[in-house]
Structure 1
Amino acid sequence: MTRVSGDGDTAEGDVEPGSDRMPVLLVRGDREYLVEPGDEMGTDLGVLEVPEDVQPGDTLETHLGDEFQVRRLRGPDLFHHFERTGAPMVPRDIGLVIGETGIAGGDRVLDAGTGTGVLAAMMGRAGADVVTYERDADFADVARENMALGGVSDAVDVRTGDVTEQLEDLEPSSFDVMTLDTGDAATMVEHAPELLVDGGFVAVYSPFIESTSEVVETAHEVGLSDVTTRETIQREMQFDDRGTRPSTAPVGHTGYLTIARNE
């Protein structure tokens, strides 16, 4: 392996690749490998030895002379490289949650239905302090490992258990946002007025209309305002010599996102 070049473009505030807290991505065309500094990795293009002090912007060369670019692990990469315990929320839907609720540095977020933890990690990377609950103990352990991989262990507190059974542990009016991705989300929506600050938001994600309808009804019953539900759908565009049109790949429906506000 040869280090061909290095730009050293680690941004201020990022976990420095080369520390034991953050691996890096090695990229060549459509190939992408997540590796730890100091690792050796065999590929069909040759053996790659990753230096302990590897930096984003470096170019590494296999023993056969093929080059890989070193890239810093960023938020959208977590969706592809976190260990999965189910189907995680896709980046476009996470963007809607953050955009619709205004999650930012200094916010405190209550999250239920951690799963793989992509949403919790992205909110932590946005600067929020997140308390997230996962019922399955094994899934919670995986989520904690994913938080370490994402560099947000200090920002995201992964708790094991059903949040509806641990409400006494939560301080009233202490959360700016609640994000819910559970089948019984309506149960937690009932408690939104007591857990959220004035003006705080609830964001509920569901793949099914029936549970979404229950959430909307509950939100109105407990006095939340600005209750809005949108289907999350996107169409990828296809460009070729024949012309331009939406891709014929499967329709990009993912679910229903309900936003409400505590007034």
Structure 2
Amino acid sequence: MSGADNADDESGAESDGNGDDRVPVLLVRGDREYLVEPGEEMGTDLGVLDVPEDVQPGDTLETHLGDEFHVRRLRGPDLFHHFERTGAPMVPRDIGLVIGETGIARGDRVLDAGTGTGVLAASMARAGASVVTYERDAEFADVARENMALGGVGDAVDVRTGDVLEELDGLEPSSFDVLTLDTGDAPDVVEHAPELLVDGGFVAVYSPFVESTREVAETAREVGLANVRTRETIQREMQFDDRGSRPSTAPVGHTGYLTIARNE
């Protein structure tokens, strides 16, 4: 179990991908959040909670000490907070940019490389896409598979252990609507985007460093991709208090650079 919140999509996530139809739910009390499965027993400092098999969002459960928890449906942004992490996952705002810029929707087929924790892959699946994602580290890949099951998208996300560049011969040409990359060798993969993508398909490449981002953009243009554009993903949280209103002075905002291109 882990703690925290985010946006559900139309796919609904009705199965964990392992033949188990129990959909995890969030138990919320104040700023506490616990992700649990129906039928699970959860121990907290507020007492023990028995989660019924037929638990539903909107229910209220009591611990054996009488403390109440509200049951909430797992939604997309909650994956960021509750997935087991093998590194820094892509933040919800950047996931939103990827999905919004590429138009990922039900029925799309996505090739993803650099699975990591798997938040992006799971979010795209919850938007209705079928995702094939590659992770070089076998242990990270195992964690990602567990996360896919937890997020209810185990049937929609195929987590493969390996380097996508070494597996290109096994991928059917022109069979993906979107290519998403979060890897150090993204420029090398972008070289193959025209042969992997359908006409009009999109490439979305995320990088925390401007040097690799520039190389991605240059490679995209060299191989004939269109509408190549790069944006820094940055937002400032607003702060409101008795003195007035202004952007927060906390040292946050930059998360990386997102390059989008399209196959003509």
Query: What TM-score results when the alignment is normalised by the length of structure 1?
Result: 0.92
Contact 2:15/2:153, CA 8 A, preserved across alignment = no
CA apart distance, 1:52: 1.7
Letter of the 1:99 partner, please give it: G
In 1, distance between residues paired with 2:94 and 2:150?
Answer: 21
2:131 pairs with 1:130: yes
Residue 90 of structure 2 aligns with which residue? Answer: 89
Residue 157 of structure 2 aligns with which residue? Answer: 156
Pair 1:95–1:49, CA change in 2 (3 A): same
Residue 69 of structure 1 aligns with which residue? Answer: 70
CA apart distance, 1:251: 2.3
In 2, distance between residues paired with 1:60 and 1:21?
Answer: 18
Does the residue aligned with 1:75 lie in a helix, a strand or coil? coil
Q: How many residues align?
A: 252
Over aligned residues, Cα RMSD in angstroms? 1.6
Deviations 1:113-169 (A, max 9, x none): 001000000000101111100011111111111111111111111111000001011
Percent identity of paired positions between Structure 1 and Structure 2: 87
Does the residue aligned with 2:34 lie in a helix, a strand or coil? strand
Residue 60 of structure 2 aligns with which residue? Answer: 59
**Gap regions ≥5 residues in structure 2:** 1-9
Deviating 4+ runs (over 3 angstroms)? 11-14
Segment drifting more, 44-53 vs 161-170: 44-53
Segment drifting more, 175-184 vs 19-28: 19-28
Contact 2:89/2:117, CA 8 A, preserved across alignment = yes
Segment drifting more, 241-250 vs 148-157: 241-250
Contact 1:25/1:33, CA 8 A, preserved across alignment = yes
Does the residue aligned with 1:226 lie in a helix, a strand or coil? strand
2:144 pairs with 1:143: yes
Residue 41 of structure 1 aligns with which residue? Answer: 42
**Gap regions ≥5 residues in structure 1:** 1-10
Larger radius of gyration, structure 1 or 2? 1
In 1, distance between residues paired with 2:174 and 2:48?
Answer: 55
**Higher relative CO (CA 8 A, sep ≥ 6), structure 1 or 2?**
2
Residue 15 of structure 1 aligns with which residue? Answer: 14
Does the residue aligned with 1:166 lie in a helix, a strand or coil? helix
In 1, distance between residues paired with 2:124 and 2:15?
Answer: 20
Pair 1:223–1:111, CA change in 2 (3 A): same
Pair 1:97–1:49, CA change in 2 (3 A): same
In 2, distance between residues paired with 1:143 and 1:38?
Answer: 23
